Copies of this chain bind each other. A is one copy, B any other.
Amino acid sequence: MPLTASPKSKKGGPTKGKTRLEPVRDAERTQQMILNAAEVEFANKGLAGARVDVIADQAGANKRMLYYYFGSKEDLYLAVLERAYIAMRQTERELNLTHLKPLEAIQRLVEFKFDYCQAHPLMIPLLAGENVLGAKYLKRSRKLRDMNLSLVEVIRKVLDAGMEEGTIRPGIDPLHLYLSMSAESYFYFSNATTLSATFGRNLLSEAEQQIRRKHCVDVILAYVRAN
């Protein structure tokens, strides 16, 4: 049976005299709902394991809409990937590191990496899945190809400033430093389940997360600090 109207659409808009608060058909909102549901599904099951039906259901949408807006499962997957990357880059761009003291900037960046992983738990399985597939879809993306990663340049400037003032030792490759900063947080979150199983101990408890966050900072600072 066709459901006659969705009871809770988000945007109130112009309140028509109807009992229903808003119009049922909202293209933008439907697309967001689908993307959200798809992100969860792809993150948890991977591209191949994800089910189009599940996504549609979870989105409270019809399967047909999914194809209408995104073309195919793979295209939807790519859209999810792009959205996640764009959001991350955007957040990175908003980081204002250059006005901090060099060591503080480094610490800030490490903490940012950690906090972002923590705040966006779907990002990691999403990336992991894409890596298993050899970045096949990422490479295909126009949007992402043009989105340069400026963070390494920022790091280079920070390192230079630190060397200038003598707080940061010379000879550090900013790219590999960036990788290490990412690695310390990412690996912890990405492999938490197998590691927890291996050690028979929940590594994702609140307390453990605090410990890990500090540890990440310590490792990186020990590496960059002069002396």
Please report A residues at the B interface, Cβ cutoff 8 Å: 43-49, 125, 127-135, 138-139, 144-145, 149, 152, 173, 175-176, 179-180, 182-184, 186-188, 190-200, 211-212, 215, 218-220, 222-223, 227
A193 vs chain B, min Cβ distance (A): 4
Shortest CB distance A177–B (Å): 9
Residues of B within 8 A of A199 (CB): 149, 152, 175
Bound complex: CA of A131 vs CA of B223, how far in Å?
29
Q: Are B194 and A188 in contact (CB under 8 A)?
A: no
Q: Does A223 lie within 8 Å of B219, measured CB to CB? A: yes
Contact A215 B131 (CB under 8 A): no
User: Counting chain B CB atoms within 10 Å of each CB, which of A47, A173, A215 scores highest?
Assistant: A215
A183 to chain B, nearest CB (A): 3
**Apart from A45-B132, A176-B215, A190-B190, what 7 extra A-B contacts exist at CB < 8 Å?**
A44-B134, A46-B49, A46-B129, A127-B194, A130-B194, A135-B197, A183-B183
Could you tell me if A197 and B138 are in contact, using CB atoms closer than 8 angstroms? yes
Question: For residue A132, which residues in chain B have a CB less than 8 angstroms away from its CB?
Answer: 43-46, 125, 128-129, 132
- A220–B183 alpha-carbon span in the complex (Å): 13
Complex: how many Å from CA A182 to CA B191?
Answer: 10
For the complex, give the distance between the alpha carbons of A43 and B190 in Å.
16
Across the interface, A125 reaches (CB within 8 A) one of B131, B145, B173, B212, namely: B131
Cα–Cα distance between A123 and B131 once the two chains are bound (Å):
13
CB < 8 Å neighbour of A186 from B144, B191, B198, B219 = B191
- The answer on a CB contact under 8 Å between A179 and B173 is no
Return A198 CB to nearest CB of chain B, in Å: 5
